[in-house]
Structure 1
Amino acid sequence: MSLVQPVRTLVFYLLLALMTVLWSSFGMLVGLLLPFNLRYRLINQAWAWQAVWLARWVAGVNYELIGRENIPDQPCVILAKHQSTWETFYFSALFSPLSQVIKRELLRVPFWGWSMALLKPIAINRGNPKAALKQLATQGDERLKAGLWVLIFPEGTRVPYGQMGKFSRGGAALAVNAGLPVLPIAHNAGKCWPRDGWLKHPGTIQIVIGPPMYAEGSGPRAVAALNDRAYEWVRQQQIEIGALAADAPLATGQTDA
């Protein structure tokens, strides 16, 4: 195997780590002095665009956005496919201001986690699913009412490229209760940025944003129906961009239950 891409990947990680330490330190120093929207743009959006830029020009990971016109003017609940870390960078840069559901442990990551704590994330304890759902419903509604996008990866974890996980209903329930749509997003980031391993592969990531989807009615049935529609749309788009076989089963460890 050529050493070019491993070297490019290593340089990318070194530059990203240096940038994160410097930018997060600066953000923590001035962040609390700024109104939230400006704080978000300074600490997270600017940093995320830098990370996307580094991935493109150092590691060779480019991207193509399809469906920008589908992004509504009013923030809503984003239901996105999850394959890698790259999409967390990109969505944090594209949607502003944004609150995302993250593992509570990530707030302990030096520098990055400390600065992230200033940005109103929904930091859940994944070991307690019932409490996490309640927290998502309460804090998610607060974030939406405050004019923030709420990013949810309904598969719950990064699913390997070529697989599709079951969607949890928390995001759809949040949207229905708030009277807002969900915005489904498909992509193939895992092809360039695999879930396992450190090596990044050059190529172009395709991101496809679908039309906002509203629930038909209210209550548990409306939530389930909206969640199913979002899942089917994302699944079909994954197939169309070549990131999922038409007969692919649910990801390992997931069931239809």
Structure 2
Amino acid sequence: MSILRAIQIFLFYFLLATTSFIWCTISVFVAPFLPFRQRYRFVNQAWCTVAVWLAKVVVGINYEVKGMENIPDKPCVILSRHQSTWETFFLSALFEPLSQVLKRELLYVPFFGWAMAMLKPIAIDRSNPKAALKQLAKQGHERLEQGCWVLVFPEGTRIPSGQIGKFSRGGASLAVNANLPVLPIAHDAGKYWPKQGWDKNPGTVQVVIGPLMHAEGTGPRAIAELNDRAFAWVCQAQKDIGCLPADATATTAAPEKG
């Protein structure tokens, strides 16, 4: 890594941390007095937009989106690949208000966690997968009824670029039980914002928003079929953008967690 690149990465993280601390501190005192939708825009959407912008101008991570026309007018369940932190920022800025599944421990982080707690997240205990699935089903349904998009990373953890993890059925189950479709999303953010390390690679993240997928019926079979269909679409989309080898399948993927 060149000295110039190291300086750019240091500057990026310094600005990201500084803006996060300042914005979360302000939000803790301002957000409680705002209606929920305005609170989400103030606390999360505004700062996540800044984070994506910083990644673009400081370390050269741009993005290109295809399939915007597939986004429905009403909220539904989003099933997205999870490769890095970048897509969390991007999707939180694109969809509002959005409730996402996150580790319960994050809510205990001073200021940052306190601000996040006001945005109706689905904070799960990953050490107890069965309880986490029940919580996703219950709170996810409540969030959808409240007019929130629900973001689910069905792989359960960040999977490095070039691999794909098995999809948990939690998101598909939530959609079927709420009689709503799923919106699959593929991307290659892991190429530019790797899962491990501090390095950032300049380039253009390709984000592909797929067609809405509705369940064919109800019950466990419908859930499994919808989940498999979403996985198949995401897997093919990842191959199309060069983020997966042509012979990649779920059986060669990293193991599912959570």
1:1-257 to structure 2, matched below 5 A, reads 1-249=1-249, 250-254=252-256
Unaligned runs of 5+ in 2: none
Question: C-alpha distance in 2, partners of 1:52/1:106?
Answer: 21
Residues 161-190 of structure 1: per-residue CA shift (max 9 Å, x gap): 100000000000000000000000000000
User: Are 1:5 and 1:201, in contact at CA under 8 Å, matched by a contact in 2?
Assistant: no
Does structure 2 retain, via aligned residues, the 8 Å contact 1:20–1:111? Answer: no
Q: Is the 8 A contact 1:96 1:148 kept in 2?
A: yes
The Cα of 1:248 is off from its aligned counterpart by 2.4
- AA paired with 2:46? A
Superposition deviation, residue 254 in structure 1: 4.8
Deviations 1:102-139 (A, max 9, x none): 01111122322110010000000001011001100000
CA distance in 1, matches of 2:165, 2:60: 28
Cα-to-partner distance string for 1:123-156 (whole Å, 9 max, x where unaligned): 0000101100110000000000000000000000
Corresponding residue pairs, total: 255
Distance 1:245 1:26 in 2: 45
What is the deviation of 1:210? 0.3
| Aligned partner of residue 59 in structure 2, secondary structure | coil
Distance 1:144 1:254, change over 3 A: closer
Cα distance in 2 for partners of 1:38, 1:254 equals 35
In 2, distance between residues paired with 1:95 and 1:219? Answer: 28
CA-to-partner distance for each residue in 1:206-230, whole Å, 9 max, x for gaps? Answer: 0000011000000000000000000
Measure how far apart 1:253 and its partner are: 3.2
In 2, the alpha carbon distance for the partners of 1:99 and 1:41 equals 12
Q: Secondary structure at the match of 1:217?
A: coil
Which range is displaced more, 41-50 or 242-251? 242-251
Q: State whether residues 164 and 251 of structure 1, in contact with CA within 8 Å, keep that contact through their aligned partners in structure 2.
A: yes
| TM-score normalised by L of structure 1 | 0.97
The percent of aligned pairs where both chains have the same amino acid is 65
* TM-score between the two structures when normalised by the length of structure 2: 0.97
Q: CA offset at residue 246 of structure 1?
A: 1.4
Structure 2 counterpart of 1:141, one-letter code: H
SS at match of 2:83: coil
Q: 1:254 to 1:39 in 2, by over 3 A?
A: closer
Taking only aligned residues, the RMSD between alpha carbons, in angstroms, comes to 1.1
One-letter identity of the residue aligned with 1:44: N
Structure 1 residue 59 displacement after superposition: 1.0
What letter matches 1:191 in structure 2? K
